Amino acid sequence: MPKLSKYFRVAVAGDTCDGRKISESEIKQMADTFDPRVYGCRINLEHRRGLFPDGDFCRLGDVTDLKWEKIVDDSALNGKVALMAQISPTDGLISMIGKKQKIYTSIEIAPNFANTGKAYLVGLAVTDDPASLGTEMLAFSATAEHSPLANRKKSPENLFSVATEAEISFDDIAEPAPSVLARVKELFAAKKKNDSDQFGDVNAAVTVVAEQVQANFDDTAQKFAALNDRLAELETSAGTDRNAVQKLTRKLEKTDGSFSRRPLANGSDGKAEIVTDC
């Protein structure tokens, strides 16, 4: 059954392996912009990318999601911004982690991914030697003309974070239930030895179909009952409106429609004026 990890820390804002710094804004940019549909981030061993799927440096899974959070604990990292990852591992990586191997992680960052001006996570490495991707490399890179890790980067301007210990745990991913057709096909897929086996499979297939028909019927019945309730509400509302219209009609029918116009004003001719009674 495929597995998906819980979120775990893969990087903290601060030093990288070549003397540069990972800023808080870059951590947040990686979390906010990450989308495997745009660029998938694969997991590798020691930042090495093998050519063969069955080689020593084959890929070990994929990063599926990122988020950032502030560290709140009693360590020296308290208050710093951390990048949290969720991964989908291969069986090989799960086996390694179960044996307490490759328990540190280091990320590869593209500071200006696809000329967007924003940082993006392009690789995640697992390692057992954080010093080789941390303090020692930091010391080498400070004086070296060329980075000792340059040949492991996807692009020369990319940078590697200092390796950090990861606490990785996995949850099983529930696989979708097979369709009725798939279940029936499975029953008849294998060759049977005798008529009894065939009859048993026919009986099982009929049961599967009947269960699905019953489930569909129950679902339809629930929807029909809800529709009936809604129709009853509409009928009640319509009856109320109809009564109000009938009441208004009867009232208007009883209203006296006769009226007389007041006399027209004929102006003043020196005689007694007609005064309008308002």
pLDDT tens profile 47-69: 887 777 776 778 889 999 999 99
pLDDT category, 216, cuts 50, 70, 90? confident
Query: Does the pLDDT at position 157 exceed 80?
Result: no
The model carries a pTM of 0.55
| Higher pLDDT, residue 256 or 251 | 251
61 vs 89: CA distance, rounded Å:
4
25 vs 29: CA distance, rounded Å:
6
Region 202-221 average pLDDT: 70
Lowest-confidence region among 112-116, 174-178, 220-224, 237-241? 174-178
Query: Does the pLDDT at position 207 exceed 80?
Result: no
Q: Which residue among the candidates 5, 47, 88, 132 is catalytic per the annotation?
A: 47
277 is catalytic: no
pLDDT at position 200: 60
47 is catalytic: yes
End-to-end CA distance of the chain: 92
Task: Name 199's Cβ contacts closer than 8 Å, sequence gap at least 6.
Answer: none
147 is catalytic: no
Region 89-116 average pLDDT: 87
Q: Which residue among the candidates 18, 132, 147, 161 is catalytic per the annotation?
A: 18
Q: Which residue among the candidates 5, 88, 106, 132 is catalytic per the annotation?
A: 106
